[in-house]
Amino acid sequence: MTTSSTPTVAVVGAHGHGRSHVVIATDAHREGRITLAAVVDPVPVPSGLLPDATAYHSEFASLLEAAVPDVVIISTPIHTHADLALAAVRAGADVLLEKPPTATLTEFDELCAESERAGALVQVGFQSLGSHALAYIRDRVREGAVGEITRYGASAGWVRPESYWRRAAWAGRRRVGDRVVADGVLTNPLAHATATALALADRMRADDVVGMTLDLHRANDIEADDTSVARLGLRDAPSLTTAVSLCATSREEPWVEVVGTKGRIVFYYGIDVVQEHSRAGEPPVTTRHDRTALLEDLIIARRDARPLCSPLVDSGGFMRLLQGVMDAPDPAAIDPSRVRWVTDAAGRHPIVDGVEHALHEAVRTERTFREAGVEWAQA
């Protein structure tokens, strides 16, 4: 692969979330940091959105036949990630791969092996791992700011309208035919929560996750989970509890935390804000931090031969969670009498009774909804 100062880049998947990658790549092209060589999508990109010299391909194979770019950005349906990423690294490209990187742990292992054989860089699209706050928090923990660590936590309550689950044939599905999709709250829309907390704990590899308890539920008429708890046992470290829902009253800023005998540090990873809370009850100390965008980080890593901020292998712990979710029984349907449907600026969406309190208590007590006796979570 080339390590030229101006790498060629192709974006595969130009609509939906992929549009954000097109915008970022176009800006980088106009600033002279990359050459946006091509965009691939079955649906053409509107004229005027791309630089004049950017080629359009309706299929990935035709891109590789025309010219292999230095970097391929993949933002396509989850169950297509593995095949596209494997083809890219085998052709000699580096990859920025949207999360989750693959739909199964087997696919993940194959991609790890193939990228290592090819000497390819594969950056996974956990944007929060580019935040400089992570290094700051690790330093503060080493300095003893929280004392002895007792637990890790992650949580978010979001709102998603019915239309979110109708956006594509694979949305909200666990499988489509014989292909695993894994489009649930823990594994896709709020996957960053667990991935960021694992990074905070420095337990990101597959063998760092040594135990798992899951409590999967759904209020929507979908196959996958939309309101769930995952408790992960971590190698030589306190456990991590993630509690997330897409059926909240309103959107909560997602957060992860490290809790110890002297206090806690909370990282609002969507906005790069850190709050340090002492046991003495003093007002929290708030700091704001910069972030390196994943494409920029990949370009720098190529040029300077330095590690990525979100390398594929470091998604192993998260992929253990994804595989656990897919190996678990289907999510339990929440009693409709405990679900209130509203229509507001977000559209028509469900609100699960008391879900915000249930999420926060799950993280605080390290108990699942069922273990805590949450009424709508009892089978």
**One domain for residues 137 and 115:** no
Which pLDDT value is given to residue 322? 98
Instruction: Please indicate, yes or no, if residue 276 is contained in any of the structural domains.
Output: yes
- Nearby residues of 43 by Cβ (< 8 Å), 6 or more positions away: 14, 15
**0.85 cut: is pTM over it?**
yes
First to last CA, the chain: 54
pLDDT band for position 1 (50/70/90)? very low
CATH number at residue 162: 3.30.360.10
Tell whether the torsion through CA atoms of 182, 220, 192 and 343 is positive or negative.
Answer: positive
> Is residue 302 one of the residues assigned to a domain?
no
Whether residue 187 is found in the same domain as residue 274: yes
* 102 shares its domain with 245: no
Q: Catalogue the E-assigned strands of 58-174.
A: 71-74, 94-97, 122-124, 149-157
Regarding whether 114 and 142 lie in a shared domain, the answer is no
Looking at residue 94, its pLDDT comes to: 98
Separation CA 129–CA 46 (nearest Å)? 32
Tokens of 259: 């809790």
At 20 the three-state DSSP class reads helix
Percent of the chain with pLDDT over 70: 99
Confidence of residue 9 (pLDDT cuts 50, 70, 90): very high
Are 78 and 196 within one domain?
Answer: no
pLDDT at 2 over 90: no
The 8 Å CB, 24+ separation contacts for 32-37 are: 32/6, 33/6, 33/296, 33/299, 34/6, 34/7, 34/8, 34/9, 34/71, 34/295, 34/299, 35/6, 35/7, 35/8, 35/9, 36/9, 36/10, 36/11, 37/8, 37/9, 37/10, 37/67, 37/69
pLDDT tens, position by position, 97-141: 999 999 999 999 999 999 999 999 999 999 999 999 999 999 999
Average pLDDT, the chain: 96
Kindly state the DSSP code that residue 290 receives in the 8-state scheme.
Answer: -
In angstroms, rounded to a whole number, what is the distance separating the alpha carbons of residues 347 and 273?
A: 29
Task: State the pLDDT confidence band at 306, using cuts at 50, 70 and 90.
Answer: very high
Are 96 and 139 in the same domain? no
pLDDT at 266: 98
Determine the distance from the C-alpha atom of residue 274 to the mean position of all C-alpha atoms in its chain, rounded to a whole number.
19
Handedness of CA 136, 126, 60, 105 (dihedral sign): positive
Confidence band of 294 (pLDDT split at 50, 70, 90): very high
- Identify whether residues 151 and 244 lie together within a single domain: yes
pLDDT bracket for residue 152 (50, 70, 90): very high
Residue 4 confidence class, pLDDT cut points 50, 70, 90:
low
In a domain, 296, yes or no: no
Domain membership of residue 142 as a residue range: 132-290+307-377
Domain identity same for 91 and 172: no
Task: Classify residue 83: in a domain, yes or no.
Answer: yes
Domain boundary pick from 85, 112, 127: 127
100 and 123 within one domain: yes
pLDDT average, residue stretch 269-290: 94
Residue 104: CB atoms within 10 A of its CB come to: 18
Cα–Cα nearest to 301, from 23, 3, 24: 3
Using CB atoms within 10 Å of the CB of residue 219, give its burial: 0 to 12 exposed, 13 to 18 middle, 19+ buried.
Answer: buried
DSSP string covering 335-369: PGGGEEEEEETTEEEEEETTHHHHHHHHHHHT--H
Q: What is the pLDDT of residue 279?
A: 85
Asked whether the predicted pLDDT for residue 3 surpasses 90, the reply is no
The pLDDT of residue 167 is 93
pLDDT for res 49: 86
- Domain count within the chain: 2
Answer yes or no: do 186 and 66 share one domain: no
Instruction: Provide mean pLDDT across the span 344-363.
Output: 97
Mean pLDDT of 54-59: 96
Same domain (yes/no): 339, 322? yes
Mean pLDDT for the stretch of residues 334-355: 97
Residues across the chain? 379
Instruction: Output the CA–CA distances (angstroms, integers) from residue 137 to 61, 162, 204, 234, 315, in the order listed.
Output: 43, 37, 16, 19, 20
